[in-house]
Structure 1
Amino acid sequence: MLNETDMRHLRRCVELAEEALNAGDEPFGSVLVDAEGNARAEDRNRVADGDRTQHPEFALARWAASHMTPEERAGATVYTSGEHCPMCSAAHAWVGLARIVYVSSTAQLTQWLNDLGVPPGPVAALPVNTIAPDVMVEGPVPELAEEVRALHVRLHTGT
């Protein structure tokens, strides 16, 4: 069950996703939060320059590996506007981050993009626990998912 702290961090993820879209990028945003509920780092998608690995979840996993102890990582949560892709799921698990909370699921995003006629990407759209079975995952969050869907519609239709 998500609490108000969870919702506050998820709202920030949606803001970061919109910031990414406004900067000409794909709408994804993420926040890394320690066990005490403090935001330690945040990022947004940065793939518009052609480097398709510049996902915020991957950046936060690298940041955590460099700036947090293994014990701190084991108590941390990554909040994100969209469920991690396989690359980001693996990075999350490899650095030992504990929990992922996402607004919209991989299944939702896949359906939205299909409805918009967007062809699938080169990597299979798989849920986090298919890649990282021991990572605690919560989501989707229906009360925010429509905002994320609207960002993807705007990206692909301009409206």
Structure 2
Amino acid sequence: MTITETDLHHLRRCVDLAREALADGDEPFGSVLVAADGTVLFEDRNRVKDGDETRHPEFEISRWAANNLIPQQRATATVYTSGEHCPMCAASHGWVGLGRIVYAASTAQLTAWRAEWGLAPGPVTPLPINAIAPGVPVEGPVPAFEAELRGLHLARLA
């Protein structure tokens, strides 16, 4: 895994967006889309609290990219995210043709935390990104964010 200082900077923003989502009563997830030249193009956080479970930031990034970028720009962009894409978001990423994904916490980590806390599994099978979008370059998890993200997800239960 080749995580750079730039990657860490953008992942920090994702974690801050996750914290913002939690403060608004939502699930703690945040994501940022960055162009090949380093320009932040789009960022969002989870917005599922009102009942639309498709309002994941990674899915919103796919929608935004499809409407605002040409295929070459999509392919060279990087999606940073606090948590590994769910299958829905991984599929949208693959269909839209976005490039590299860097995530702070993995689906396996989140699944283990939820089981440890006695929570029921979600309605969708937890799969790694490359099980859904095999051609996408993926890097993560990044240990530097594990404790903080675990704490945010635990705080969601309080």
For this structure pair, what is the TM-score category when the shorter chain's length is used for normalisation?
Answer: over 0.9
Please give the secondary structure, in 1, of the residue aligned with 2:33: strand
Please give the secondary structure, in 2, of the residue aligned with 1:78: strand
1:99 matched to 2:100 = yes
| Other-structure match for 2:58 | 57
> Equivalent residues in 2 for 1:130-145 (5 A)?
130-145=131-146
Deviation at 1:118, TM superposition (A): 1.0
| Other-structure match for 1:109 | 110
Deviation sequence 1:44-88 (CA, Å, 0-9, x none): 000000000000000000000111110000100100000000000
In the alignment, the residues of structure 2 paired with residue 149 and residue 38 of structure 1 have an alpha-carbon distance, to the nearest angstrom, of 29
1:35 matched to 2:17 = no
Please give the secondary structure, in 2, of the residue aligned with 1:41: strand
The alignment of Structure 1 onto Structure 2 pairs a total of residues equal to: 157
In the alignment, the residues of structure 2 paired with residue 29 and residue 97 of structure 1 have an alpha-carbon distance, to the nearest angstrom, of 17
Please give the secondary structure, in 2, of the residue aligned with 1:117: coil
In the alignment, the residues of structure 2 paired with residue 144 and residue 121 of structure 1 have an alpha-carbon distance, to the nearest angstrom, of 23
C-alpha RMSD of the superposition = 0.5
Among all aligned residue pairs of Structure 1 and Structure 2, give the percentage whose two residues are the same amino acid.
63
Deviation sequence 1:103-152 (CA, Å, 0-9, x none): 00000000001111110111000000000000000000001121111000
> Equivalent residues in 2 for 1:1-159 (5 A)?
1-156=2-157, 158=158
Q: Which amino acid aligns with 1:31?
A: V
Q: Which amino acid aligns with 2:29?
A: F
Please give the secondary structure, in 1, of the residue aligned with 2:60: helix
Runs of 4+ in 1 over 2 A off after TM superposition: none
Please give the secondary structure, in 2, of the residue aligned with 1:133: coil
Deviation at 1:2, TM superposition (A): 1.0
Please give the secondary structure, in 1, of the residue aligned with 2:11: helix
Q: Which runs of 5+ in 1 are unaligned?
A: none
Q: TM-score, normalised by structure 1?
A: 0.98
